[in-house]
Structure 1
């Protein structure tokens, strides 16, 4: 495999379909995106792992949705890891990359570097929010934290809220190649029953706390196909998921050659943030002049920092709020 072909598959999501099984999926590879996401903050190692897993999930899920603007994933808990938030912005036009950003809030005093990352979340919820932009009503779906990973939470969400059996196999971490420094790499495979194949589900589920499981949704040939595809995915190795020695197309043939894999156009992914001075001004437009004075520093300015990308903004307080006396 040449270096050129390796780079071509970095930071991409490849859609595919298993024709024999009536199952769709995604193969994702992220490297530079994760480096850009994580270099914005000096996160402890367990928080880095949670952010990396969440960003990978977001890239894969975002690509499955006919999205005009933004998909957001959020995990909130009562543990030291209070919030993991990610956004996926649809590509502005065909051929351009989708954009991903991520942020974590945590209680450093309660966090132990050697802790198992998922256990730092505690009790809470996993949420998916879809915003198609101006003139539409945002959609929000929420399920409780369940399972032993963020990917398990996402699987539970799709079974419970969408009645779509879904499976993720993910791998992520720091890696190094000869002649290069240490960088982040992540990769994964997502499997999901085609939406038309799962029209029914009712009553309580057989999963944790009564949540839905794939066996509660599928029956007959659909259940057999789903089980077979999952058994094949169980054979994947972590190094196959993250590459770079195995191309996504090669991986699909290795895993699912008897299932009739068919691939579609890959979607490039890049780090990107939607923050801007105008958006900060809009956020502050609800505040009175008195409120703005409380936000003003001793140097006579109002400052704001983007939690996602670290951008720093400074404003003349007289240009802010609904009682502003100056134009920006």
Structure 2
């Protein structure tokens, strides 16, 4: 495989469909984008792994929806890893890249850096939020975290079965690697399979505690047989095939699913992108009175704010913020 081919598939999401099985999917590769996301912070390795997995899931899920603006993924738990938050911003025009960002909030004192990353999340919930922009009603879907799932990917599968009644499967791989002549960097890759939406079979209501659904609860007959076959084929994928760069996504699909008649669509490029700005900070402070702003002012006489996603630092004159601002900001501020 040439270097040119490798670069062409770095930071891309390739949609595909398995015509024989009535299954759609995505192959994602995150390289420079993930390296930039994690490079904004000095996370412990166990938190880096959770953020990498969540970012890869977000790239795969975000590209399945015809977004005008943003899809967000949030994992909140009562463990040391309190919050993993990601955003996928759909491209504003054809041919432009989607933008990804992510961050984590964690309790360093409670964190067990030798433990499995997922075990550090604890009990909580997995949520997907979709904001289509001005004039639309945001959507939010939430399912409990499955403590026995073992990964964020498995929790995402439960989410789609429970909230959307869509059988869904993820196979992911991520980690640091060194390519010849290059510095160490993050590479990640994954495949998402999702059964095409249909009217779900009636589900029997059982007595006792409500149970989380799985893909097997939603399919029957030929659909179930096709789903099992596609998943069995995906089980043969190797980590190096997922993350590349030696195997192109198109080659991977042919290797895994050549008997399922795979059909690919235009790939979607992705990159790191943050929407924070001084104007947004000022807008968020516009609801506060002068007395409130005074309480936020530092001993140095500034109102400060930091972006959790990209680490940008904003320092503002307190007289220029809030709905009782005395003056407008100078050009040099």
With structure 1 as the length reference, what TM-score do the two structures score?
0.97
Are the equivalent residues in 2 in contact too, given 1:21–1:259 (CA < 8 A)? Answer: yes
Gaps of 5+ in 1: none
CA deviations on 1:151-198 (whole Å, 9 max, x unpaired) are: 001000000000000000000000001211110000000000011x34
Deviates more, 1:315-324 or 1:115-124: 315-324
Q: Please list, as runs of the form range in 1=range in 2, the aligned pairs for 1:109-258 lying within 5 A after superposition.
A: 109-146=109-146, 147-195=149-197, 197-204=198-205, 210-258=211-259
Are the equivalent residues in 1 in contact too, given 2:17–2:264 (CA < 8 A)? Answer: yes
Give the Å deviation of 1:282. Answer: 1.0
Q: Please list, as runs of the form range in 1=range in 2, the aligned pairs for 1:79-118 lying within 5 A after superposition.
A: 79-118=79-118
- Aligned-residue CA RMSD in angstroms? 1.3
Moved over 2 A (4+): 197-206
Q: Could you say what secondary structure the match of 1:127 adopts?
A: strand
Which structure has the highest helix share of the two?
Answer: 1
Q: Count residues with an aligned counterpart.
A: 326
Are the equivalent residues in 2 in contact too, given 1:77–1:121 (CA < 8 A)? Answer: yes
Give the Å deviation of 1:199. Answer: 3.3
- TM-aligned CA distance change 1:198 to 1:233, over 3 Å: farther
CA deviations on 1:18-68 (whole Å, 9 max, x unpaired) are: 000000000000000111000100000000000000000000000000100
* Whole-angstrom CA distance in 2 between matches of 1:184 and 1:89: 21
Give the Å deviation of 1:287. Answer: 1.2
**Corresponding position of 2:310:** 309
Q: Could you say what secondary structure the match of 1:171 adopts?
A: strand
- TM-aligned CA distance change 1:28 to 1:266, over 3 Å: same
1:264 pairs with 2:265: yes
Q: Could you say what secondary structure the match of 1:251 adopts?
A: helix
